[in-house]
Amino acid sequence: MKIPILIKLLIIMLILTIVPLGIMGFLALQDEKAIGMNAAENAQSMGKFVISDSDLALEELGEKLITEKAKDVATQLAIYLVAHPTMTVADLQNDTAFQKIAVQKLGERGYVATIDETNTIRFHPNPMMINYDTHQMAAEYPEFWAVAEPIIEGKPFGGYYNWLDSDGVVRSKYMYHQPVGVLTADGVMLHVAATTYMEEFTQPSKQLEEKLNSSIQKTVSHISIATESMSSANTILMITLISIIIVIVIVIIVATSISRPIKQLTIIADQISMGDLQIEINVHTNDEINDLAESFRRMINAFKMMVSMHESYEEEKK
């Protein structure tokens, strides 16, 4: 069976191109999905690690700020009491200047209150809470009470507790209480209690975590969508089709450049065999086919010479 050069080249080139392309495409698709997912997982775990560290650092910072605030207010109150040694708790509760020191805002939603050694609130931002005995909260808020109770011992103490807010959400708070160190005129040792929500300090890292999670989620879904659409073979098919078209075009150009002069020389050889020595060879290439065409030219010239010599010989014979 005769197979043209064009078809032979086409088959070889297509096999050489499409098979490796298909294998590489398949492997690349698998690798891409795995690498993408791996990168997303790594980013997520790294992000969580960083956020967890940030959380701890921010909590420590929050604890320090609350502690320092309590100590600072206690010092201010001590100075005030030293300067006003005749004032009883009742006098102090009517003293605006003292109230301004004993009740302060802490952060956005936190506050500083002043409690006596029997755990009765003496100064509080909420007037309803003034002279409120916190023992009443012991049963309802055991965690709070665990932090508030040591006031009785007269030592500084700090700790976390969960607080049920009016919106029904339980939030973590930190409280630190510090004894003022100076007795009032009626012999009461006041304690400064500073408390606030820890989320005020950890909020930036929570926001960062949300942003990170949302970003990773987007990346993961993007990878999934991209790889799923690729796995539906659209991209590979497209690349393969484009490659096939390019290969076919190149093969046609190359094969034609080889086969056309060969066909011309075949026609010329046939004409020579029919005795036509006047034929012109218009084959000009930069390869071995040009050498073949040159050989044909020389062959034709040699034939012409032989014919001429033969005619001369015949004439001489006459």
Partner 1 sequence: MSLDTDITSILAKTIGPSAPIFLKQVCMKMKKRPSELIKQDLDSLIDQIYEGVRKPLGDDTAQKIKDNLETLK
Binding site for partner 1 (CB under 8 A): 295, 298-299, 301-302, 304-309
> Which residue's structure tokens are 């003292």?
98
As measured in angstroms, the least distance from the Cβ of 13 to partner 1 is 36
Residue 298 beta carbon to partner 1: minimum distance, rounded to whole angstroms: 3
Choice between 166 and 282, CB closer to partner 1: 282
Closest separation in Å from C-beta 259 to partner 1: 25
Give the closest residue to 70 by CA, choosing from 150, 159, 144, 180: 180
Q: Give which of 3, 199, 180 is closest to 109, Cα–Cα.
A: 199
The minimum distance between CB 274 and partner 1, in angstroms, equals 18
Q: How far is the CB of 286 from partner 1 (least distance, A)?
A: 19
Burial class (CB in 10 A: 0-12, 13-18, 19+), 285: middle
Q: For residues 86 and 313, which CB has a smaller minimum distance to partner 1 in the complex?
A: 313
For partner 1, give the closer residue by CB, 252 or 307.
307
Q: Which is nearer to partner 1, 260 or 298 (CB)?
A: 298
Which of residues 86 and 278 has its CB atom nearest to partner 1 in the complex? Answer: 278
By beta-carbon proximity to partner 1, the closer residue of 6 and 279 is 279
Using the structure block, give the residue that is written with the tokens 């007269």. Answer: 154
By CB atoms closer than 10 A (0-12, 13-18, 19+), residue 53 is exposed
Q: How far is the CB of 308 from partner 1 (least distance, A)?
A: 4
Distance of CA 196 to CAs 112, 120, 212, 220, 221, Å? 9, 19, 27, 38, 39
Residue 174 is encoded by which pair of tokens?
């930190």
Residue 207 half-sphere exposure toward CB, CA atoms < 13 A: 6
Q: By C-beta, is 56 or 309 nearer to partner 1?
A: 309
**Where on the phi/psi map is residue 229: left (φ > 0), alpha (ψ -120 to 50), or beta?**
alpha
Tell me the closest approach of the beta carbon of residue 233 to partner 1, in angstroms.
58
Q: Which residues contact 206 (CB under 8 A, 6 or more apart)?
A: 199
- Distance CA(44)–CA(208), nearest Å, equals 12
